[in-house]
Chains A and B, each alone.
Chain A
């Protein structure tokens, strides 16, 4: 047990070395993960090495902790508002900019008109950078259910983009501009 705990601490230190995580938090999360591992050890199916399985539990615990802390005191409505795609500038300097404006218009209109309220809220929260586990927590749901809503919303956005006359290739070409100008 001491070896496992030490390995969890070492693993968390390595994975989160670039985050602002103190050693006290690492120790706390490792201890919390250890209890969880003991509690769930009967569900270990042997599909991976035990160490990898245990480390996955510890990594998820730390990530959840950091994500919850980052979005603490922010409501789902506020998250969604932060992800609104703004109306775009109408003055453009070239055809590439115009194409990007047109594509953004299609995406914004599809988010506004083609998604359910729940789908819109989640997609906008994702655009604001909110991870699905935080969204799920705010919704009193789980990550699978949130991902299903995201999946269905993406399918509707795809239909809207294609219905507006875009092809996968033409979208890809415009998206290249995002890399250089976005």
Chain B
């Protein structure tokens, strides 16, 4: 059995799927709330947010943040009795 380390597979996949232009993490964060609202509403995000989805496909740290945000928003909404906003 060949030795491997965690993360190498992800690195190779990310390398092969690299795009000529990608959003950076801070730029992704700027639009994460808008992207989350589309996903929470079960709607497809518009083309203007395409870069956010592409970044999340390639950045595990931002994907983790995004998943936590979805969960957090649900928790916040529940605390407001199901209201979607303040």
**Residues on A facing B (Cβ under 8 Å):** 3-4, 6-16, 47-53, 55-56, 58-60, 62-63, 83, 85-86, 88-89, 92-93, 97-98, 100-101, 103-104, 107, 123, 126-129, 131-133, 142-148, 151, 154-155, 157-158, 161, 168, 171, 175, 178-179, 181-182
Contacts A10-B78, A62-B68, A97-B2 known; 15 new A-B pairs at CB < 8 A: A3-B80, A7-B76, A9-B79, A10-B75, A16-B68, A52-B37, A52-B69, A56-B32, A59-B68, A104-B2, A123-B11, A126-B7, A143-B24, A154-B15, A175-B12
Residues of chain B lying within 8 A (CB to CB) of residue A13: 75
In contact, B73 and A132 (Cβ under 8 angstroms): no
- Checking B2, B22, B34, B86 against A89 with a beta-carbon cut-off of 8 angstroms, the contacting residue is B2
The distance from the CB of B51 to the nearest CB of chain A, in whole angstroms, is 12
Residues of chain B lying within 8 A (CB to CB) of residue A3: 80, 86
In contact, B7 and A132 (Cβ under 8 angstroms): no
Top 8 closest A-B pairs, CB basis? Answer: A14-B75, A144-B24, A10-B79, A143-B25, A11-B76, A11-B72, A48-B33, A15-B72
Please report the C-alpha to C-alpha distance between residue A146 and residue B85 in the assembled complex, in whole angstroms: 34
Residues of chain A lying within 8 A (CB to CB) of residue B57: none
